[in-house]
Structure 1
Amino acid sequence: MCARILVAEDDTMQAELIRRLLLQEGHTAVVVHDGRAAIDEAKSHRPDLVVLDLMLPRIDGLGVCRVLRQNGDIPVLMLTARSTEDDVLLGLELGADDYMTKPYSPRELMARIRTVLRRTHRPAEKPPVLRAGNITVDPVRHLVTCDGTPISCTPGEFAILHAMTAEPGRVFSRRQLLQHTRGHDRASTERAIDVHIMNLRKKTETDPRRPVRLLTVFGVGYKLVGGPHDA
């Protein structure tokens, strides 16, 4: 698929490399070099994906991600030279769907971009609306409701709920959920699933500290309860 991709990268050489790689794959690439410009461009011309450097001038990548999440569900792939787990998890908590640490392989970057675009691309054939208890997931409209109220989800969070509402009561390991959200089986990033689950509990549970829908199965993973096939 041909997508419109916004690249926010202050390193001009890196930005030009990413732009050329995207053009080679048939995408349209728009490049900006600071956070304020990234926000303005995303608001003026909604992209299909934002490749977002964490260390941007004027407004950093975390600030940009926060604003993007307040105004929609644009997929975000975060690039960071900060390799500490706290920095990565903070970006995920703010709504980034995936991340890569610098230096990165151009081939892997393109593979990650293709994965995100495939996951967020809407198929021509209408899939069914899924329900598990009071949670519904509509893949066509990319809409999640809880107790009849729409809730905003990042693409990663949506992918988790989509998988779990398709099989309510099933216990998913972190690695299995990671495959749904990113298409990559990388044990080093499985903690990202914990962050997505924490965010989903804030949005769907009356008391996120005592969840009754998204349950932890200690030593295994997570399950969504409330559907007709629950154990």
Structure 2
Amino acid sequence: MAEKILIVDDEKEMRHLLKLCLEQNEYDIDEACSGDEALDKLLYNTYDLVLLDIMMPTVDGFEVLKKIRQDLEEDIPVVLLTALGDTEKVVKGLNLGGDDYIVKPFEPKELVARIASILRRVSNKRIKKECFTIHDLVFYPDHIRVTYQDRVLPLTKKEFHLLLRLANNPGRVFSREQLLVLEWGHHFDGDTRTVDAHIKNIREKLKQVNFQKSVIETVWGIGYKMVEEDSS
């Protein structure tokens, strides 16, 4: 499956040029013409990398980057697009969590090489991270499996991905609507009771393996979150 990249730039011609360059290298491209549109797309879609213009009206690239690092996908790579000579802005962007930068006007070969390099690094990290643990639950994403004290939770594929979504973002509140779109897609012909039913099933299956902790918290009127682990 082709890696999916979000291009965020208020200049239509620049977006078109970037899209053309990347599609020729078999990347799947989505576009946003403003910071607000980018944040909306990031909320309801999953991307492998974001190409982010720093200087945009209203919500600039810095604000988008802050939101990505603080509230949205925790480790999605972000490549900053900047004008020649904007050294201070580049430094600020990198300090906020940017992974790399490209100076406009850009050399297509350099752009593709930088993006390929970043995606390789990310892919290698994911391969090395075969499993992770939270609240004594061990997640094996590649095998769609969760265990507790060596007992496998009898989760369906959809239940697994819903629980994984929460476990990857401890403390973050997801609305029912967000979870419905993220896990079932925009075109799912159902309502938010589907999410409630799946959460109920997950909780019951946790009890089946004698997991006693209450780690999926209902945020009344909004949705659900995975309780953060006690660091003490």
* TM-score normalised by L of structure 1: 0.52
Q: Give the Cα–Cα distance (whole angstroms) in 1 for the partners of residues 61 and 128 of structure 2.
A: 35
Structure 1 residue 76 and structure 2 residue 78: aligned?
yes
Shift of 1:76: 0.1
2:65 is aligned with what amino acid?
A: C
Q: Which residue of 1 aligns with 2:123?
A: 121
Q: Give the Cα–Cα distance (whole angstroms) in 2 for the partners of residues 19 and 78 of structure 1.
A: 15
Query: 3-state SS of the aligned residue for 2:18?
Result: helix
Query: 3-state SS of the aligned residue for 2:115?
Result: helix
- Sort the Cα spacing of 1:111 and 1:43 in 2 relative to 1 into closer, same or farther, 3 A: same
Q: Which residue of 2 aligns with 1:13?
A: 13
Structure 1 residue 37 and structure 2 residue 37: aligned?
yes
Show CA shifts across 1:86-120 (max 9, x none).
Answer: 21110011100001122211111111111111111
Q: Give the Cα–Cα distance (whole angstroms) in 1 for the partners of residues 130 and 11 of structure 2.
A: 44
Query: 3-state SS of the aligned residue for 1:121?
Result: helix
Shift of 1:14: 1.0
Show CA shifts across 1:12-31 (max 9, x none).
Answer: 11100111112111111001
2:36 is aligned with what amino acid?
A: R
Q: Which residue of 2 aligns with 1:104?
A: 106
Q: Which residue of 2 aligns with 1:92?
A: 94
Q: Give the Cα–Cα distance (whole angstroms) in 1 for the partners of residues 51 and 12 of structure 2.
A: 14
* TM-score normalised by L of structure 2: 0.52
- Sort the Cα spacing of 1:10 and 1:121 in 2 relative to 1 into closer, same or farther, 3 A: same
Q: Give the Cα–Cα distance (whole angstroms) in 2 for the partners of residues 53 and 124 of structure 1.
A: 27
Q: Give the Cα–Cα distance (whole angstroms) in 1 for the partners of residues 81 and 125 of structure 2.
A: 28
| Count of residue pairs brought into register by the alignment | 133
Q: What do you get for the CA RMSD once the two structures are aligned?
A: 2.6
- Sort the Cα spacing of 1:65 and 1:24 in 2 relative to 1 into closer, same or farther, 3 A: same
Q: Which residue of 1 aligns with 2:152?
A: none
Shift of 1:57: 2.3
Shift of 1:126: 4.7
1:90 is aligned with what amino acid?
A: K
Shift of 1:127: 6.9
Q: Give the Cα–Cα distance (whole angstroms) in 2 for the partners of residues 90 and 83 of structure 1.
A: 13
Q: Which residue of 2 aligns with 1:27?
A: 27
Deviating above 6 A after TM superposition, structure 1's stretches of 4 or more consecutive aligned residues are none
Q: Give the Cα–Cα distance (whole angstroms) in 1 for the partners of residues 127 and 65 of structure 2.
A: 31
Structure showing greater radius of gyration is 2
Gaps of 5+ in 1: 130-139, 142-149, 151-231
Query: 3-state SS of the aligned residue for 2:52?
Result: strand
Q: How many percent of aligned residue pairs carry the same amino acid?
A: 37
Query: 3-state SS of the aligned residue for 2:38?
Result: helix
Show CA shifts across 1:159-212 (max 9, x none).
Answer: xxxxxxxxxxxxxxxxxxxxxxxxxxxxxxxxxxxxxxxxxxxxxxxxxxxxxx
Show CA shifts across 1:122-143 (max 9, x none).
Answer: 47865799xxxxxxxxxx98xx
Query: 3-state SS of the aligned residue for 2:106?
Result: coil
Q: Give the Cα–Cα distance (whole angstroms) in 1 for the partners of residues 34 and 99 of structure 2.
A: 20
Q: Which residue of 1 aligns with 2:217?
A: none
